Structure 1
Amino acid sequence: MEIKVCETKQQIQELAGLATEIWHEYFVEIISKDQIDYMVEKFQSYEALSKAIEEEHYTYFLGYEQGKLIGFCGVKPDGDRLFLSKLYLHKDQRGKGLSSTLLKRALAFAEEQEKQAVYLTCNKYNQNSLDIYEAKGFKTIDSVKTDIGNGFIMDDYIMQLDL
């Protein structure tokens, strides 16, 4: 997999398109369609991703296979830690070890930034992802319920990997 940093408007559009597709495929067993639609618009739309990059200091690593965007990872510095906000692969690309490649890039970025740990939030009912993060060495350090507006709550575990 070739990994590039998301820098252009075209890349952000590609990223938003892939995020929309993945969210509507993956999360239907975990949260409602209405919440998926709301969260995609609020966090994964072109506008939201552009704002995250320009104003919130997010970096998105884009994973390509044969020139096609197949996955991505989004990170943001947060004090002495790095927040791993997003790590998603297209359904056809799962199970090939590619999420590990994206995660390794995020961890390398954390080390480049001299961070002490990488942390993330993961839906409490997303057992597949929880298992993967645990297998990669992340430990559950807390849980949080976050009101994201429009009557929706994110019910997550906070997981951390010390570097």
Structure 2
Amino acid sequence: MARTIRIRRIDVDELEIVRELALVIWPKCYRNIIGPDRVDAMLAVLYATDNLEREMVQDGHTFWIVRVDRTDVGYASAYREGGRLWLKKLYVRDEFRGLGLGKALMETALEHFAVEDAITAPAIELALYVNKDNAPAISYYLRSGFKVEAEVPVQMGPYIFTDYVMQRGLQ
């Protein structure tokens, strides 16, 4: 039986869906990278609905949810800064990885911002931050055409980590 996959942009009143997905995805994704105690503390800060709302309303982030059949299984957010389109969040539940959902979320963000590019100068690259110890994500991004541009300290919630800035050209 074929699965129905749907990606949709969400509004502020639906950010609770993102928070609920993060509570499922983050512990599995980051438990062995940053430790369970830090995961809980970071989730409490980064995925508080008021922080997500600030990202959307004040910082100009756009959010999408991907649904498979009747289940929300992942989310993404992105924003534009100068010539860069930043992929801020890209997460899919473990049991739904390998279906092309991450790629579909990235393409949705690119298509969304291409409409804005018709008004302004087009973005020339897609960029993101990824924890330098997150080998599965780094491998995925390298396979998706990204290259490591820099290694930088990043504060997430109360903790400081080392991330890679990864980017790929859009032209």
Equivalence for 2:132: 124
Give the conservation status (yes or no) of the 8 Å contact 1:119–1:160: yes
Give the conservation status (yes or no) of the 8 Å contact 2:42–2:157: no
Query: What's the secondary structure of 2:22's corresponding residue?
Result: helix
Which region of structure 1 is more displaced relative to structure 2, 111-120 or 77-86? Answer: 111-120
Q: Which runs of structure 1 show a deviation greater than 6 angstroms over 4 or more consecutive aligned residues?
A: none
Equivalence for 1:87: 90
**Counterpart among 6, 15, 21 of residue 2 in structure 1:** 6
- Name the TM-score, length of structure 1 as normaliser: 0.92
Give the conservation status (yes or no) of the 8 Å contact 2:76–2:90: yes
Offset at residue 50 of structure 1 (A)? 1.2
Give the conservation status (yes or no) of the 8 Å contact 1:73–1:88: yes
**Counterpart among 7, 22, 35 of residue 19 in structure 1:** 22
Offset at residue 88 of structure 1 (A)? 0.3
Read off the aligned partner of 2:132 and give its amino acid letter: K
Q: Counterparts of 2:97 and 2:157 in 1: how far apart (Å)?
A: 31
State the number of aligned residues.
161
**Counterpart among 56, 64, 84 of residue 53 in structure 1:** 56
Give the conservation status (yes or no) of the 8 Å contact 2:46–2:156: no
Query: What's the secondary structure of 1:69's corresponding residue?
Result: strand
Alpha-carbon RMSD: 1.4
Read off the aligned partner of 1:60 and give its amino acid letter: F
Give the conservation status (yes or no) of the 8 Å contact 1:138–1:160: yes
Q: Which runs of 5+ in 2 are unaligned?
A: 117-121
Offset at residue 149 of structure 1 (A)? 5.4
Offset at residue 8 of structure 1 (A)? 4.4
Equivalence for 1:138: 146
Offset at residue 112 of structure 1 (A)? 2.9
Read off the aligned partner of 1:18 and give its amino acid letter: L
Identity across matched positions, percent: 27
Query: What's the secondary structure of 2:28's corresponding residue?
Result: helix
Change (3 A) 1:13 1:122: same
Give the conservation status (yes or no) of the 8 Å contact 2:41–2:157: no
- The C-alpha deviation readout for 1:45-68, integer Å capped at 9, x for no partner, is 222111111111110111011232
Larger radius of gyration: 2
Give the conservation status (yes or no) of the 8 Å contact 2:78–2:89: yes
Q: Counterparts of 1:78 and 1:43 in 2: how far apart (Å)?
A: 20
- The C-alpha deviation readout for 1:60-115, integer Å capped at 9, x for no partner, is 11101123211111101111111111100011101222111111112223433321
